[in-house]
Structure 1
Amino acid sequence: MINRFRIRFVLIAAVAIAIVMILPTAALNYASHWENGRETTTLLRLIDENDGVLPSNLAQLTALGITDTDAQHYQYFSVLRGIDDTVTITRKSNLDYISDAQISAAALAVMRAASTTTQEGTTVIHGQSFSYLMSSDSEGTRLTGMNINPELTSRTRLWNLSLISFFGGLLLFILIATILSRWAIRPFIENYENQKRFITNAGHELKTPLAIISANTELQEMLDGESEWSASTKEQVARMTALINQMVALARLEEQPDMQLTDIDFSDTVQRAASSFKSSVIRDGKTFQLTVAPDIHVKAESKSAFELVNILVDNANKYCDEAGTVSVMLRRSRDWRYSAHLEVANTYVQGKGRDYSQFFERFYREDESHTRGASGGASTSSAQTTSAPETASATSAQATSASAQPARSGFGIGLNMAQSMVKLFKGRIDVRYSEDTIIFIVRI
């Protein structure tokens, strides 16, 4: 769990820093693109207004941020199309590698398409990209073009440099965050370890007084006989013992995030675990259905997988309606990410409208009053609400015992344990309600 928390911490921090880095990177590249476009358009208008020639007035160029050296290296041309449809190249600067015929043909093609295109745009001549501006006067139509390949190359270079800087900085940040993450979440780790230690130690400490209470109660029964109050005391001791065992088991389960997974016959595991509940289900007047496809293997830990099935089937039996149906079905998964698809379902007419997204939360109970039935003649509340399916006991022995009791309450731990086991198996567990039936789905 600690490793998962560290990974989540680093990922969230990486996403945050990535967003922060994307904004200036995108702004820088957009500003460069806009500035290059503005400069090219300004030069084209300047050349067009000067009869197709870049002005030689240095002061005018300097006002636009253009140096004399820059002006000598610009590659541009100006073409005039007369009223008689003749094309004349009035200016050609630093374009010796392109023939006049190529320029004239390209300019004429652009001018003829002017009725369906904008007066500004780009075209390709001799493999070079040119930005052009077209205007008309009494002499005819003038088209001024400027080679923008140097700007495109510069823009591409800036973009590549930005990407390298972005990903390089992001990777460096992830590396540093990974190194420092343990220090950053140290308070959480210490608190988490203290909680687990407290649960384990408190569990062991509580077992002693519970054992004494149980022994004293049994002694009292030997002297005075069994009474309503002694039966109630024994029931509560049994409940507390079961709760402590589950809390300790859950704490130990979370201490082994690197559980050794091996190939197991999940079909056999489901068959053995589910079959042990058949007699208790039928004894309660319910229908038991078990369908297991043979020879389905998964990567899991054998004892934990067996306990997983115990928890789900016991939960289904515990909260199944009277004369309802408990069903267990195992088949091969249709999802390529998993090998097995397990469904454990039970009839539950009152399940409509429940918030099933909270069923796997620790100590979750649907009824706010947390009331429960009492066995052995203890009094119960007439206004007691029916709780939603919560959790099963942690062991198959406790499951069988619990199912035989009239009380159907749980502690809100079993399903949380089941979820932890499935996560350790790198699987997924979900719950849904359909046609008066609660269905728990496990994919491994």
Structure 2
Amino acid sequence: MIRHFRKQFIIFSTCALLLVIITIVGSISSVTYFRAHQEVNAVLTILSNNDGEMPARMSPDPLQAFTQPNITRESLSQYRYFSGTLNKQNNQIKVEDDHILSVSPAEIQKLTQRVLRGHRLQGRVFYKQTVYAYRVKDSSKQTNVVFLDETLMLSKALEVTYLGILLGIVSLLLYATVLVLFSKSAIRPIVQAEQRQKEFITNAGHELKTPLSVISANTEMQELMNGENDLTRSTKEQVDRLTKLINQFVSLARLQEQPRMTLSVINASRVTNQVADSFKSVVVQDGKKFKAFVTPKLMIKADEHYFYELISILLDNANKYCDPEGDVYLKLRLGKRRKNVILSVTNSFAAGKEIDYQRFFERFYREDKARTINEKKSGYGIGLSMAQNIVKNFGGQIKISYSNGKISMIITIKKANHKLNGKQEEK
């Protein structure tokens, strides 16, 4: 259990940091790309307003200082751009290529014609592995198309993204390494508290058995001397209840200490039939109906003793909380994909519509509605917690469902191969 808790602590802490890193890197990358596109649009606007040429004067706008990139004539010279102007009178294209070397005038004319055929005022074109953003300005005499190589701006944003991802991965690895190295120290107080709790339960259980034995012996002696009466019967009943409670405490503490279960391939069908045969008379004597449906020769990897105990706990719980003259069903079958074995115990429970079934696995939890069904047979709320620990040690899953006035405990355990018979593994 401690290893599992430590593993969960490391996983959740690392995932939390991963989420923070993704949020930070994603935010920085988004802002960088947004600013890059703002810069592209700002440069295109300036060039388009000046028919594809560098303006003679540029005065900064103080209102746009915080929302738009600060572009001057000096900074404008770093960009690679060109333009093509279509004269509507003679249908000739004038080329401006002073700020580009990789595109020839003939290619500029072709790109201009290509953009004009698309009838779009702005967009992007891909030419010779380079992305050019363009802006179209139309007037009565001419149509000007300005092209801007946006590779420089976007490459800066891409570089920031790659750097953020790299630093994030390095930080995550360093954090995970430190967490693995110091996780034992971090969870040591919790481990010590859990260990002291288990030791207390085990020691207290053994210590309480001695006075209970004395009380039981004194009660029997009193019955021999004065005969049985209501007081002695009540004392014996309470002694039995306390003895069962102590035994369940000790069993649960041992289960949580990762007992050395002998996991081997067992015949789940045979064990289930054995438990069903022993519980049938108990259920019928309480005035309820009991039915068992067991698919033969189903094999699972489990501890036979604890598997028997698991079915006994579930049937005992179903019998206690079943409606008077209700039904108790025990089923063992293959799952839909024939990879798992499904064990289900179902009982009639008409008063269970508004019960929080997920809390049934909490120790000492009993719903008030369930308690009032049969106060004399109500348990201590530890049986299902024990069942959950047994299933967890088997590597299976347990869940509760309620439908049509019936509550079902459903256990899923992976089916084992017959070829594995005879092999054992200690856990």
Q: Specify the alignment match of 2:91 in structure 1.
A: 86
CA deviation string 1:107-161 (max 9, x = no partner): 22322333xx3x3321122332101122123531111101112333333333222
C-alpha separation between the residues in 2 aligned to 1:225 and 1:193? 46
Number of aligned residues? 405
Pick one of 375, 386, 411 that aligns with 2:373.
Answer: 386
Kindly report which structure 2 residues correspond to 1:174-185, keeping only aligned pairs within 5 A, or say none. 174-185=176-187
SS of aligned partner of 2:224:
helix
CA–CA distance in 1 between the matches of 2:169 and 2:260? Answer: 31
Deviation for aligned residue 1:417: 0.5
Structure 1 counterpart SS, 2:185: helix
- Equivalent positions of 1:274-313 (< 5 A) are 274-313=276-315
Q: Give matches, 1:261-276, under 5 Å.
A: 261-276=263-278
Match of 1:438 in 2: 407
**How far apart, CA to CA, are the structure 1 residues paired with 2:110 and 2:90?**
12
Query: Which residue of structure 2 lines up, in the alignment, with residue 50 of structure 1?
Result: 50
Match of 2:209 among 182, 194, 207: 207
Query: Which of residues 226, 232, 239 in structure 2 aligns to 1:230?
Result: 232
TM-fit CA distance, 1:227: 0.9
1:103 aligns with 2:90: no
Structure 1 distance, partners of 2:214, 2:172, is 60
Offset at 1:317? 2.1
Q: Tell me which amino acid in the other structure corresponds to 1:355.
A: D
Aligned partners of 1:257, 1:130: CA distance in 2, in Å? 69
CA separation of 1:46 and 1:258: change in aligned 2, threshold 3 A: farther
Contact 1:103 1:125 in 2 (8 A): no
3-state SS, counterpart of residue 377 of structure 2: coil
Post-superposition offset of 1:411? 0.9
Any stretches of 5+ residues in structure 2 without a counterpart? 61-68, 414-427
Give the alignment partner of residue 153 of structure 2, picking from 136, 151, 161.
151
**Distance in 1 (alpha carbons) for counterparts of 2:274 and 2:90:** 94
Aligned to 1:317: 319
Q: In 2 relative to 1, CA 51–363 (structure 1 residues): closer, same or farther, beyond 3 Å?
A: same
Structure 1 distance, partners of 2:310, 2:292, is 16
Name the SS of the counterpart of 2:351 in structure 1.
helix
Residue equivalent to 1:349: 350
Q: Could you tell me whether the CA contact under 8 Å between 1:102 and 1:125 is conserved in 2?
A: no
Q: CA RMSD in A?
A: 2.7
Aligned to 2:419: none
Deviations 1:148-193 (A, max 9, x none): 1233333333322222222332232222223222212221111111
- SS where residue 368 of structure 2 aligns? coil
State the identity as a percent.
Answer: 38
Matched AA of 2:319 = N
Tell me what 1:380 maps to: none
The reply on whether 1:12 has 2:17 as its aligned counterpart is no
Alignment of 1:408-427 (within 5 A): 408-427=377-396
1:360 aligns with 2:347: no
Match of 2:64 in 1: none
Q: Does the aligned pair in 1 maintain the 2:321–2:373 contact within 8 Å?
A: no
SS at match of 1:351: coil
The answer (yes or no) to whether the contact 1:52–1:90 under 8 Å persists in 2 is no
The Cα shift of 1:273 comes to 1.9
1:197-235 deviations in whole A, cap 9, x for unaligned? 000000000000000000111111111111110011011
TM-score, normalised to structure 1, is 0.83
Indicate conservation of the 8 Å contact 2:55/2:73, yes or no: no
**Runs of at least 5 residues in structure 1 that lack an aligned partner in the other structure:** 371-384, 389-406
Q: Helix, strand or coil for the counterpart of 1:349?
A: coil
Distance (whole Å) between structure 1 residues aligned to residue 90 and residue 15 of structure 2: 60
1:241 aligns with: 243
Q: Give the C-alpha shift of residue 263 in structure 1.
A: 2.5
In 2: Cα distance, 1:58 partner to 1:350 partner: 81
